[in-house]
Amino acid sequence: MYNLLKGKRGIIFGALDENSIAWKTAERVHEEGGIFVLTNAPASIRMGSIDALAVKTNSQIIPADATSVEDLENLIDKAIEILGGKIDFVLHSIGMSVNVRKGNHYTNQNYDYTEKGWNVSAVSFHKVMQVLYKKEAMNEWGSIVALTYMASQRVFPDYNDMADNKAFLESIARSFGYFFGKDKKVRVNTISQSPTPTKAGHGVKGFGEFIAYSDAMAPLGNATALDCATYTVAMFSDLTKRVTLQNLYNDGGFSNMGVSQEVLERF
Ligand SMILES: NC(=O)c1ccc[n+]([C@@H]2O[C@H](COP(=O)([O-])OP(=O)(O)OC[C@H]3O[C@@H](n4cnc5c(N)ncnc54)[C@H](O)[C@@H]3O)[C@@H](O)[C@H]2O)c1
């Protein structure tokens, strides 16, 4: 390990269980010397196993529903108090579609579910940043990362309304990233990750085929949750100080492929 995050303080959203990308990220950040608070929605804290991660990484858990500005204000105040100073890094690792959960086809959405989905998966990122921004909670040269998926840019029919939520999320990263860069010298990026076997990942219909196809297309194969965690560490470190407003692919090269020999041979 390189102590890349020594002296840095952060907030990590979205560690549900040991498969979560946020879980691996917390472990890697801890190994690199960063300190942080963990947060998740109260129901996910009860359902999941975040306590074990808190013990392992010597961190505290502050519950927050990321769609509640009040919860986020409390979270950020407490995080600064617990960590003993302003924030250097934030990971938004949150996604959920009620239409996907209920098996509603893209052409047959329940719009109450649609609204809930974009609020949790995209607008929550705006809310997190707006609270950080208004509270002057970020240190200069801090780094904010959210996780996204390629279906925001290309059609993957079974990704359903999460595709639209991810497009919204990526746009928020650019738009807020402008103001965070200009006004506070903070960078904002999204990492577009390969399909990964997590609770959220398995929610996508036909996930088994989806992940195998992606692996067969990508010259380096799918990026794992650990690969994503390591990339995120790099994005939190001072090695990437002027990388901002980017959607960064961590996908083994999938995003620039048309077809691979391996996939062709299956026809
Ligand atoms: N798994 C994949 O294939 C894949 C691929 C690309 C991007 N992503 C993205 O990575 C991120 C993390 O997902 P994951 O795959 O680790 O799955 P995960 O199920 O482990 O994590 C999703 C998290 O979102 C949290 N969450 C849901 N509603 C919330 C709310 N209202 N407030 C706060 N937190 C809430 C859940 O509690 C959970 O911890 C998501 O943004 C997901 O879309 C996942």
pLDDT (tens digit per residue) in 80-97: 999 999 999 999 999 999
pLDDT in tens, 99-132: 999 999 999 999 999 999 999 999 999 999 999 9
pLDDT in tens, 175-191: 999 999 999 999 999 99
pLDDT score of 89: 99
Distance of CA 93 from the midpoint of ligand 1 (Å): 5
How are strands ordered across the β-sheet holding 247-250? 35-39, 9-13, 87-92, 138-148, 187-193, 247-250
Q: For atom 1 of ligand 1, which residue has the closest CA?
A: 201
Which pTM value belongs to this model? 0.98
Cα(218)–Cα(260) distance, rounded to whole angstroms? 8
Instruction: Tell me which residues have their CB closer than 6 angstroms to ligand 1.
Output: 13-14, 16, 20-22, 40-41, 44, 65-67, 93-96, 120, 147-149, 193, 195-196, 198-201
Q: How confident is the model at residue 204 (pLDDT cuts 50, 70, 90)?
A: confident
**C-alpha distances out from residue 22 to 46, 198, 220, 228, 242, Å:** 17, 10, 22, 9, 23
pLDDT score of 185: 98
Q: For atom 12 of ligand 1, which residue has the closest CA?
A: 93
Q: For atom 38 of ligand 1, which residue has the closest CA?
A: 14
**Distance from the first to the final alpha carbon of the chain:** 44
Question: Which SS3 state, helix, strand or coil, does residue 112 take?
Answer: helix
Distance of CA 266 from the midpoint of ligand 1 (Å): 32
The neighbouring-strand residues paired with 59 are none
Residues contacting 102, CB < 8 A, separation 6+: 110, 113
